[in-house]
Amino acid sequence: MANSVDYEIMWVEKYRPKNLDEIVNQKGVVERLKGFVKKGSLPHLLFSGPPGTGKTSAILALANEIYGPELAQYNVLELNASDDRGIKTVREDIKEFARTAPVGGASFKIIILDEADNLTADAQQALRRTMERYVKTSRFALLCNYPSKIIEPIQSRCAIFRFSPLSKEDVVKKLKQICKAENVNAPDDVLEEIYAIAEGDLRKAINLLQAVSATGREKITKEIVYEIAGLLQPEEIREIIYLSVRGELKKARGKLFSLMIDKGISGTDIVKQMSSEVLQFEDITEQKKVKIMDAIAETDYRLAEGASEDIQILALLARMAE
């Protein structure tokens, strides 16, 4: 029999806020949710906003404050609509949970549908009727990135909360707290680099920090962060762009493909990094930046459609050389 292994818990779950006061950068949202807790009533909810801004954490913290940690597990159903997105899920799993009485004397249950914008049109129509029929026993919390994909009849039945992107200060502060608790030696400039890579997604930033810390290095550097993230360093991307713009296509191609092979980086990631770095150049005219961004956008589309990665990346360098 194989020996059991104690795997370290994901830091995203380990440091998830336990109450609404721990939710950062969403003051207006938190105040409104606290008002519902105080009144002891709750409408159907629709949380929208970019990934990693606290939507799931907020609804779970709200459930903890309403039921307490002990009863929350019995009165909350959490589903990911990207996995269970069809009408069958609404008619069976959700309906079965919604029709039963809450546990522990609670007034209602909470059904959380994460990534609700992935629900099919038929599933949303069925959900609309379920929300009306079981309003006495259940409340629905729909979490999504794109509220426009939620049909109007569902939106009109919900109190809508919009989550704003997290600031660099909030993300870095949270990463510092985790570093202190986990005894991780990461300078401020490295944490800021993690924030930049995560693009304001706190979940992604925490996962990257945990992955970097697992290398066992005494001190975390930017080079280690980019290596673990599977990205090229900004200086390397800038050099490739410079070589291409100056018409040194052979050098640019050799350096780029060498880095892609050595570090195992995909063409899609290269293109995405280029789009960020081009805008930072001060000695390239705005007209040239426009042309480069147009070429990058076309290359990104072709890669998404399944075109040859090597050929499209080389074509992009050639267009920059023009």
- Residue with more model confidence, 62 or 282: 62
25 pLDDT band, cuts 50/70/90, is confident
110 and 22 in contact (C-beta within 8 Å)?
no
Q: Which tokens hold the place of 249?
A: 């296509």
Angle at CA of residue 256, ends 250 and 260, nearest 5°: 145
pLDDT of the residue at 4: 42
> Domains (ranges, CATH) in the chain?
11-162 (3.40.50.300), 168-229 (1.10.8.60), 234-321 (1.20.272.10)
Direct distance between the N- and C-terminal alpha carbons of the chain, in angstroms, rounded to an integer: 64
Phi, psi angle pair for 231, to nearest 5°: -130, 160
pLDDT of the residue at 88: 62
pLDDT digits (tens, 9 = 90+) for 53-107: 999 999 999 999 999 888 888 999 888 866 655 566 666 778 888 888 888 888 8
The listed range with the strongest mean pLDDT (2-11, 114-123, 126-135, 183-192) is 183-192
Q: Bridge-partner residues for 143, per DSSP?
A: 47
pLDDT of the residue at 194: 93
* Sequence-separated contacts (24+) of 241-248 with Cβ below 8 Å: 241/274, 241/277, 241/278, 241/281, 241/292, 241/320, 244/317, 244/320, 244/321, 245/284, 245/288, 245/292, 245/320, 245/321, 247/321, 248/321
Lowest mean per-residue pLDDT among 4-8, 77-81, 117-121, 216-220: 4-8
pLDDT of the residue at 109: 92
* Helix extents (H) in 183-221: 188-198, 202-213
Average pLDDT, integer, range 235-242: 88
Q: Which residue has the tokens 């609670």?
A: 106
